């Protein structure tokens, strides 16, 4: 018999919003995040200068709201836009409305298996993640507890962050423990491009000194041979890790790359991977040292708990990709997640802006590269939706 102490779920709603936020690639002109970054599409010269040119920001943000019978509303944001709204309203909502919000396991299972014939990864799992996160937010608000408390409580007093952006030197001045730079040139730009990549790393190493962590994010742009040559050349400049070097489908390539990189350099990946089954492949094939699930794309918190336990049993770290508060509430509860990512959303990036700016109100940001656990002590994920932004509900029921 299901526990019925909580108000039931009355209504699920899905909206789109444009302009940054959870779809953090949806930025204005001149932003570092769209400035000649190596991608799998960079083999075509016409799509090399800007990721927006090939449509990196076509989806926009998905906002999921779940309202309980007593009027309490849980919400979450992730990438997915209008097509994800369709999936949420026309397919997934049926597994929530009329149900007890504490039944997140059964709800997740039904969302995943009912969509398996057209889902499993990508957009569908983004939509499932958005619903799952909104459900955890609702549960926290109904119980008057932060999500991290529902997950077992903080295992440390504060979070420590590395920063992702084009200026690790500025990130160092802001107190971060490391800086992850986008790789700017892919294999199609030949040996000249490889030299430029290494020169940028060398310049940054000079600016930040010998001890500050420096990492390269390759956003799926390379092949094993190029990634190996990059890793070998980057070693003398103290590269801590090489991230998402090749296609997320090439588990065999990751296993080879991990064998090829110099001792001490880490291989990381997983932001475009989803569910316990995808991460099981990465773990069992020994593809990487650090798993980087995005909480809004991997299946939400319910699935992340399983991914994290699997990783722990394999002796691997889980450092979620981006994900703002959805990552913070999780990372603070896990020993095998010793630090977190902070994606720099300032165009420069010379200032700390909330990662999902401007969509969340009360989104905490690191101060001096750190965030006290007490900053997360509000019900649910501790943030509110900025309702001044124009939201659109294309599949209202
Ligand atoms: C900078 C990367 O290309 C991407 O936009 C963000 C990312 O992959 C990460 O933060 O990791
Ligand atoms: Mg990345």
- Give the DSSP per-residue string, 373-389: GGGG-SSBTS-EE-TTS
Which pLDDT does position 198 carry in this prediction?
A: 98
99 and 51 Cβ atoms separated by less than 8 Å: no
Buried b (16+ CB within 10 A) or exposed e, 72-97: bbbbbbbbbbbbbbbbbbebbbebbe
Angle (CA) 134-151-125 rounded to 5° is 40
Residue 136: closest CA among 174, 107, 159, 158: 107
Which pLDDT does position 3 carry in this prediction?
A: 55
Ligand 2: distance of its center to the CA of 9 in Å? 35
Place of tokens 């690191």: 366
DSSP bridge partners of 82: none
Pocket of ligand 1 (CB under 6 A): 33, 37, 164, 182, 217, 219, 271, 321-322, 341, 343
Nearest CA to ligand 1 atom 1: 182
79 and 126 Cβ atoms separated by less than 8 Å: yes
Q: Choose the residue to mutate in 164, 200, 218, 272 for probing ligand 1, maximizing ligand atoms within 8 Å of C-beta.
A: 164
Which pLDDT does position 209 carry in this prediction?
A: 98
Kindly tell me the number of DSSP H helices and DSSP E strands found in the chain: 11, 14
Mind telling me the catalytic residues?
321
Which pLDDT does position 2 carry in this prediction?
A: 52
Residue ranges of the chain with per-residue pLDDT less than 70: 1-4
Which pLDDT does position 1 carry in this prediction?
A: 44
Provide the sign of the torsion angle of the four alpha carbons 178, 362, 60, 52, taken in this order.
negative
Burial of 277 (0-12, 13-18, 19+ CB in 10 A): middle
Reported as a single tens digit per residue, the pLDDT across 31-83 is 999 999 999 999 999 999 999 999 999 999 999 999 999 999 999 999 999 99
Provide the sign of the torsion angle of the four alpha carbons 327, 142, 372, 313, taken in this order.
negative
Which pLDDT does position 253 carry in this prediction?
A: 99
**Ligand 1 atom closest to 322 (CA):** 10
Burial of 396 (0-12, 13-18, 19+ CB in 10 A): exposed
Nearest CA to ligand 1 atom 9: 321
Which pLDDT does position 5 carry in this prediction?
A: 87
127 and 62 Cβ atoms separated by less than 8 Å: yes
List of residues 6+ apart from 86 with CB closer than 8 A:
394, 395
275 and 112 Cβ atoms separated by less than 8 Å: yes
What's the CA gap between 16 and 11, in Å, rounded?
17
What's the CA gap between 300 and 279, in Å, rounded?
14
Which pLDDT does position 151 carry in this prediction?
A: 98
Nearest CA to ligand 1 atom 8: 219
């Amino acid at each position: 018999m299901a526990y019925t102490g909580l108000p039931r779920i009355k209504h699920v709603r899905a909206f789109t919003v444009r302009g940054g936020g959870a779809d953090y690639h949806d930025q204005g002109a001149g932003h570092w995040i769209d400035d000649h970054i190596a991608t799998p599409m960079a083999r075509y010269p016409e799509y090399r200068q800007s990721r927006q040119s090939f449509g990196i920001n076509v989806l926009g943000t998905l906002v999921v709201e779940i309202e309980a019978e007593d009027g309490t509303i849980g919400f979450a944001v992730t990438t997915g836009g209008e097509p994800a709204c369709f999936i949420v309203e026309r397919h997934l909502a049926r597994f929530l409305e009329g149900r007890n919000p504490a039944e997140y396991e059964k709800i997740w299972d039904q969302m995943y298996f009912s969509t398996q014939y057209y889902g499993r990864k990508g957009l569908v799992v983004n939509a499932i993640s958005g619903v799952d996160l909104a459900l955890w937010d609702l549960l926290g608000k109904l119980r008057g507890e932060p999500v991290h408390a529902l997950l077992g409580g903080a295992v440390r007093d504060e979070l420590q962050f590395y920063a992702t952006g084009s200026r690790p030197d500025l990130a160092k001045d802001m107190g971060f423990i490391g800086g992850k730079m986008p790789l700017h040139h892919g294999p199609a730009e030949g040996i000249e491009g490889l030299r430029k990549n290494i020169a940028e790393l060398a310049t940054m190493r000079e600016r930040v000194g010998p001890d500050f962590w420096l990492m390269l994010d390759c956003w799926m742009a390379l092949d094993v041979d190029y990634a190996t040559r990059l890793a070998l050349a980057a070693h003398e400049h103290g590269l801590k890790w090489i991230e998402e070097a090749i296609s997320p489908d090439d588990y065999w390539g990751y296993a080879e790359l991990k064998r090829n990189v110099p001792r001490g350099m880490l291989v990381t990946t997983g932001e475009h991977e989803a569910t316990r089954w995808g991460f099981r492949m990465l773990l069992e094939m020994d593809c990487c040292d650090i798993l980087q699930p995005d909480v809004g794309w991997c299946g939400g918190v319910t699935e992340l708990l399983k991914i994290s336990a699997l990783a722990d049993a394999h002796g691997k770290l889980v450092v979620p990709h981006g994900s703002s508060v959805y990552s913070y509430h999780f990372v603070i509860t896990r020993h095998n997640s010793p630090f977190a990512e902070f994606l720099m959303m300032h165009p420069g990036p010379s200032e700390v802006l909330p990662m999902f700016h401007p969509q969340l109100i009360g989104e905490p940001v690191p101060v001096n590269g750190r965030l006290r656990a007490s900053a997360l002590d509000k019900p649910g994920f501790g943030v509110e939706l900025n309702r001044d932004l124009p939201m659109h509900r294309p599949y209202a029921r």
